[in-house]
Amino acid sequence: MSESTESGVEAADGAAQILDQRYRPYHGPRHGLAGAVRAVLVSSMRFTLGLGRPARHKFLPWLAVVVALVPAIVFVGIATVLDIDLISENILPEYHEYYGYIQAALFFYCGIVVPEILVADRRNGMLPLYLSTPLRLWSYLASKAAAVAVTLSVITMGPLLFLLVAYTVEGSGPAGIGEWLTVLVRILGSGIAIAATMTAASLAVSSLTDRRAFAVIGVVLLLLGSSLVTSSLVETAELDPRLYAFNLFEIGAALKDRIYGIGPPLAFVEDNGAPGRRLSELATWFVLCANAAWVLAGAAVVWWRYRRIEGTQ
Amino acid sequence: MSAETASGPAAVASTTALTQRFGSTVALDAVDIQLHPGVTGLVGANGAGKTTLINALLGLRAPTSGSANVLGLDPRSQGPALRTRVGFAPERDVLPDEMRAVDFVRHLAQVRGLPRSEARTRASDCLWLVGLGEERTRTLGTMSTGQRQRVKLAQAIASDPQLVLLDEPTSGLDPTQRSEMLTLIGEISSEHSVSVVLSSHLLNEVESVCDHVVALDAGRLVACGPLSELIGDDEGVLVELVDVTEPAGTVDAVERALRATGIALERSGTTLRLGGGERDELCDRARDAVADAGARIRRLETRRRTLADLFETTA
């Protein structure tokens, strides 16, 4: 006597089991929409980081991660070797100041790595296949956006979490559990905020073309162009600092500063030559709204674009 | 949907006055169909509305009017639940080139709701079933068109669907590969009790594997039903004559003689299609009529009615 199990046929006494029955009916649980979202999320994260892909696809995303992490590793090394409280002595940057070190990695990751995540599915025909599953358009796009945001958070939060833990172990960390938790929340909050803004903007540009090269150029132009143009207009031409709302890097940095409790007036506002000094003139609510607007506008562009693709209505 | 009605197995899918318009274009015009267990051929020329009908059955597009029911579910309101039980292979021959076949099939099985471990096992099983067991770790970009079509079939059945929708599964295949693919589709349906809807514009391949046929022409339903009923089993006789000048009018004389005996006859130039009788009797009468008229035969053959005839007479 034998009885069917989910994965094979098992003898009544459990002594023998046929594990390989080849194609057979499946009567086990099905995870529905939640399972579909999870599968696409995990798959997209692996895809973005180049996992399970040829080596050439691993190079760029991990280079971005390394670029973000290396300064943190160097700072921790210096702190360990010199054995003094380098943060209090203003020798090493504070947590909020580390954002300047990850901007290059953010630029690199959003400009070159992120566009592939949407473009590839449209180019290789996976989109109609995905939409023939429990996924709907909104859940597909949400899975993709979440995958980008999570992997981007590795860059926006990873180095700072490493610094926090390393400084704490080394003895230069926040004093007391309350302050430690405050720093942790600020790292997580600012990391998520920056990742959300950058994700929305880069996905919006990527959704406009089926060509990866065009998407890369578009994202790079958006990041660099918005930064250069608004900085010139505000810093050089002395125009309204609210134009910084169009500067992805600076408006993200401004939100990060507010999360760290560094609102107007900023400490370096006295330094008239410092780029971005007039960010301090922006009200906190304006900074918050500007970042939210980037996220909403990015989501709207992606939704608008995908609603016009054949078979997604 | 295992219950059977008095008239036969219950339908796995049906539509009622299903209409789909794109602006002024009517892609589906009040289509009423019933799809039964087995292999159903969805035939029609390019632009007939086959893909639109498949999209409607999957719940990917809201119909302009009318309704559909697939596996007892409404595709529009219960689309996600329905699509865990339906497999689909699109026509486009574009798959992620860098992905291994087994990873691709496993991933789609997971997206259709299977747990990870089960999806992994079934991905290998399905690739063995479609004849790619030894090739399952190859990347899709290194596979031939025939192999890629098989991979698409494997992903469609990996989640153990009750219904599989295959959009032009033989597209791009040579005659041998096409025959193998059709045989495979037939086996999947008959041996594993999976209902299959096979979209194609090649009528002969639908005839070779399908039990039922849904024929569309410019969005209109031309025919729907069991293949045997639509094209019939009666074998007529085709007589092609040589149009000789001496004596003149021999083809007309043969036609008159055969009609006089009460044989159903269709004439197209010098070709006569005879029906309404036993094959041997029709052949004998054709031979006698030709001999009496002094005509000459170029070709005499028995034949079945085909889907092409169905389209000719109803389109």
B116, B59, B108, B52: which is closest to B82 by C-alpha? B59
B195-200 vs B163-167, strand pairing mode: parallel
Q: Kind and range of the H or E element at B168?
A: none
The verdict on B62 touching A (C-beta cutoff 8 Å) is yes
* Two tokens, residue B248: 């003149």
Q: Does B78 contact A at CB distance below 8 Å?
A: no
**Cβ <8 Å between A35 and B114:** yes
Q: Which of helix, strand or coil describes residue B47?
A: coil
Domain match, B9 and B145 both:
yes
> Are A311 and B160 in contact (CB < 8 Å)?
no
B268 with B139, same domain: the answer is: no
Whether residues B67 and B93 share a domain: the answer is: yes
Closest chain A C-alpha to B313 CA, distance in angstroms:
33
Q: What is the mean pLDDT of residues B146-157?
A: 92
Sequence-ordered strand ranges (E) for chain A: 2-4, 9-11, 17-18
Q: Could you report the per-residue pLDDT of B160-180, keeping only the tens digit for each? A: 999 999 998 988 888 888 888
Q: What is the CATH number of the domain that holds B124?
A: 3.40.50.300
Helix, strand, coil percentages, rounded to 5, for chain B: 40, 30, 30
B77 touching A, CB under 8 A?
A: no
Residue B73 shares a structural domain with residue B194 = yes
Q: What is the pLDDT of residues B206-235, one digit of tens each?
A: 888 888 999 998 899 988 888 877 776 666
Beta carbons of A311 and B61 less than 8 Å apart: yes
In Å, how far are A115, A258, B230, B304 from B279, measured between CA atoms?
Answer: 67, 92, 20, 11
Expressed in angstroms, the distance from the first to the final Cα of chain A is 52
- Asked if A14 has any chain B CB less than 8 Å from its own CB, the reply is no
Q: Return the pLDDT at A183.
A: 93
pLDDT given at position B72:
92
Query: Based on C-alpha coordinates, what's the Rg of chain B?
Result: 24
Of how many residues is chain B composed?
A: 315
User: Does residue B105 carry a pLDDT above 70?
Assistant: yes
The mean per-residue pLDDT over the stretch B258-263 comes to 87
Beta carbons of B253 and B295 less than 8 angstroms apart: yes
Of B58, B84, B160, the CB nearest to A25: B160
Nearest residue of A to residue B154, measured between CA atoms: A23
Q: Do B129 and A133 count as a contact with CB atoms less than 8 A apart? A: no
Statement to judge: residues B179 and B35 lie in one domain:
yes
Which pLDDT does position A16 carry in this prediction? 73
- Here the CATH number for the domain that contains residue B249 is 3.30.70.100
In this complex, do A23 and B126 lie within 8 Å of one another by their Cβ atoms? yes
Q: Which of B98, B122, B160 sits opposite A53 (nearest CB)?
A: B98
φ and ψ at residue B195, rounded to 5 degrees: -75, 140
- Contact yes or no for B98 and A28 at CB 8 A: no
Give A44 to chain B, closest Cα distance, Å.
11
**pLDDT above 80 for B3:** no
CA distances, B290 to each of A74, B279, B298, B302 (Å): 102, 16, 11, 16
Nearest to A295 by CA among A146, A193, A216, A144: A193
Q: How far is A22 from chain B (nearest CA, A)?
A: 5
Inspect the interface and report whether the beta carbons of A133 and B84 lie closer than 8 Å: yes
Burial B289-308 (b: 16+ CB within 10 A, else e): bbeebebeeeebeeeebebe
Q: How many domains does chain B have?
A: 2
Instruction: Name the residue in chain A with its Cα closest to that of B90.
Output: A129
Could you tell me if B124 and B259 lie in one domain?
no
Number of H-type helices and E-type strands within chain A = 11, 3
Cα separation, A207 vs B158, in Å, equals 30
Query: What pLDDT is recorded for position B303?
Result: 73
Residue A305's pLDDT is: 92
**Higher pLDDT among residues B241 and B10, named by residue:** B241
Please tell me whether residues B162 and B92 are part of one structural domain: yes
**Which among B83, B92, B157 is the nearest to A133, CB-wise?**
B83
Residues of B in contact with A32 (CB under 8 A): 80-81, 84, 113
Joined together, the tokens standing for residue A45 give 């994260």
CA–CA distance from B205 to each of B51, B171, B223 (Å)? 18, 11, 17
Work out the number of other CB atoms within 10 angstroms of the CB of residue B309: 18
Chain A positions in Cβ-Cβ contact with residue B98 (cut-off 8 Å): 53-54, 57
- Token readout for B201 is 């514009």
- B residues 187..206 contacting A (CB < 8 A): 192
B302 shares a domain with B192: no
Determine, for residues A131 and B96 on separate chains, whether the beta-carbon distance falls below 8 Å.
no
A182 touches chain B (CB under 8 A): no
Which pLDDT belongs to residue B2? 39
Are both B210 and B299 inside the same structural domain?
Answer: no
Please name every residue paired with B236 in a beta bridge, in sequence order, or none if there are none: B303
Task: Say what the pLDDT of residue B314 is.
Answer: 63
Average pLDDT, chain B: 86
B88, B95, B115 ranked by CB distance to A124: nearest? B95
For residue B103, give the nearest of A20, A30, A52 by CB distance.
A52
The minimum CA-CA distance between B52 and chain A, rounded to whole Å, is 9
B312 DSSP 8-state letter: H
Angstroms from A221 CA to nearest CA on chain B: 28
Per-residue burial over B24-62, b = 16 or more CB atoms within 10 Å of its CB, e = otherwise: eebbbbebebbbbbbbbbbbbeeebbbbbbbbbbbbbbe
Q: Is the pLDDT assigned to residue B5 strictly greater than 50?
A: no
Is B187 found in the same domain as B57? yes
Non-local CB neighbours of A230 within 8 Å, separated by 6+ positions = A243, A244, A246, A247, A250
Among A26, A125, A135, select the one facing B90 at the smallest CB separation: A125
> What is the pLDDT, as a whole number, of residue A266?
45
C-alpha distances (whole Å) from A95 to each of A101, A143, A158, A230, A271 are: 11, 30, 12, 26, 21
Lowest mean pLDDT among A40-49, B251-260, B302-311: B302-311
Range of the domain at B272: 235-314
B71-82 pLDDT, tens digit per residue, is: 999 998 898 889
* Same-domain status, B182 and B293: no
Q: Which pLDDT score is estimated for B97?
A: 87
pLDDT grade for B191, boundaries at 50, 70 and 90? confident
List B166's β-bridge partners, or say none.
Answer: B89, B198
B119 and B263: one domain?
no
Q: Say whether residue A310 is in contact with chain B using an 8 A CB cutoff.
A: no
Distance CA A228, CA A276 (A): 11
* CB-based contact B163:B12 (threshold 8 Å): yes
Give the H or E element holding residue B181: helix B175-192
Contact B65, B44 (CB under 8 A): no
Pairs of residues, one from chain A and one from chain B, whose beta carbons lie less than 8 Å apart: 111
Between strands B212-217 and B220-226, the pairing is antiparallel
Can you list the residues of chain A whose pLDDT is less than 70?
1-14, 17-21, 83-91, 263-278, 310-313
What pLDDT sits at residue A19? 59
Distance CA A290, CA B209 (A): 61
How many angstroms separate the CA atoms of A79 and A92, rounded? Answer: 8
Which residue, of B196, B227, B258, is where some domain finishes?
B227
The whole-number pLDDT of residue A90 equals 66
